[in-house]
Amino acid sequence: MPDFIKNIEIKLLKVPLEKPVSDAKVITGKQTPLKEVMITCAIIRTNDGREGFGYVYCKRNGGPAQYSLAKEYAPLLIDEDPDDISRLWDKLLWSSISIGAGGVAVQAITPFDIALWDLKAKKAELSITKLLGQFKEEVPCYNTSGGFLQDSIDEVIDNAQKVLSEGAGGIKIKVGQKDYKEDVRRVEALRKALGDDVPIMVDANQQWDVSTALKAGRYLDEYDLVWLEEPVGAYDVEGHYRLSRALETPIATGEMLVSFNEGLPYLDRRAFDVCQFDAPRIGGITQYKKVIDRCEEQQLVLAPHYSMELHLPLVACYNGEVWVEHFEWFEKMGIFNERVEMNNGLMKVPNRPGIGLTLNNDVVRKLMVDSAEFK
C-alpha cells in the first residue's frame, strides 16, 4: 500500500524582536520599525507514522493571510501521495489561481512544500542536502542583525565586533538614507574599525533612484565591498543592470520577489551579480531548485535572503560562491530545538535527516496565535 497523507497540522506564531529595527524604508517614512515576525508552520503526517515539517515567514503585515490560505490548502493534500511533490505544488497553486501565481498564493504553499521535502529526505534517511546533491560541508556567513539604521555607527561597530568574535565571517549594514553621504561616512567608519580583511556588504533597501545609486556607488567602490544590495526598486531590472555594469562593486538583489517567474527577467537579462531569491518567499524547495540550476548556468553568487536555518542546507548544494545571512532572531527565541553551528566565518552544514529542524513545543505554545488540524 503506498504512503498517503493522513493528517496535517498548521500553526501561526508571532515572534517578537528584542528591540524594533529600522532600515532605509523606515528612515524615509515608507514603513514603521519592524517589531515582530509571523511564522506559519506545517506538520504533515503520513499513514506510516512519518512526519515532515516546514514553515514560511512574514515581516510586518501579511502573516495571517499566509496562514488563512494555508488552512484552505491543507485539506487538498489529505490522502495524497507525499512523494508527488511537484504535482502537489501545482495542485495547490491552481486551486487559488484567481488571486495570482505569486505572493501569498505561492507563499502559503511553502510550508507544505518544505514539509514534503523533509518527509522525502527522512524516508531516504538522508539530510535534504544529501538528497538534493551536496557540494559543500561549510558555507561562508555574514551577519545583518547588528547593522540596522536605528543604531549609531559606534553601536554598529560594537555589534559587528561582537558577532565576528562569535564566528560570523562578514558584516552587512543598512544604507539608503536621504543623504547618501551619511551612508558613505558610516561605511568608511566601519571599514576603518574592522580593517581591510573583513567582508562588508551594504543594503539600500530600494531607497535610491539610479542617479543617486550611481553617485553613492562610486564613493562606495572605494571600500572594497562584497556587494551593494537593492540600490533601486526591487522590480527595476534595467536599473540594476545599469548599475551592475557601471560600478565596480557587485550588485545584489532578489529578496523581494515572490515567485520564481518574477525572478526570470533578472536571470534572463543577467541584471545582477548576486542572487538573493528567498526560498520561503518564492514557494519553497521545489522552486528554489530552479534558482540553483539557473544561477549555476550563469555562475552567479548565491546569497539567499534571511531564513538561515533553511537556506544553509540548500546553498550547500550549489557549485559556486555562496553566502548565508546570519539572523539570530529565531535562535534567541528558541523556536527550533537545533542551532546553527558557526565558527571562523563559516556555518557547518547539518547532516540531520530531512531539513534538520524540529519545533521547541514549549516555546511554540507561548508564541502561538492560532492552530488548525486536518484529517
CA–chain centroid gap for 290, Å, is 16
- Is 14 catalytic? The answer is no
Q: CB 102: neighbour CB atoms within 10 A?
A: 18
Which grid coordinates are listed for 18? 528584542
3-state SS of 73-87 is HHHHHCCCCCCCHHH
Task: Give yes or no for a contact between 101 and 93, defined as CB atoms under 8 angstroms apart.
Answer: yes
Burial of 88 (C-beta count, 10 Å sphere; 0-12/13-18/19+):
buried
**Cα dihedral across residues 144, 146, 151, 152: positive or negative:** negative
3-state SS of 169-203 is CCEEEECCCCCHHHHHHHHHHHHHHHCCCCCEEEE
Give, as one character, the DSSP assignment of residue 109. Answer: T
Task: Give yes or no for a contact between 283 and 113, defined as CB atoms under 8 angstroms apart.
Answer: yes
Given 11, 25, 122, 305, which residue is catalytic? 305
- Is 174 catalytic? The answer is yes
- Cα distances (Å, whole numbers) of residue 21 to 12, 24, 97, 99, 175: 22, 10, 35, 32, 13
**Which residue, 96, 17, 99, 100, is CA-closest to 60?**
17
Which grid coordinates are listed for 231? 540600490
Given 120, 123, 174, 240, which residue is catalytic? 174
What is the C-alpha separation between 4 and 23, in angstroms, rounded? 45
Q: Give SS3 for 359.
A: strand
Active site positions, annotated: 174, 305
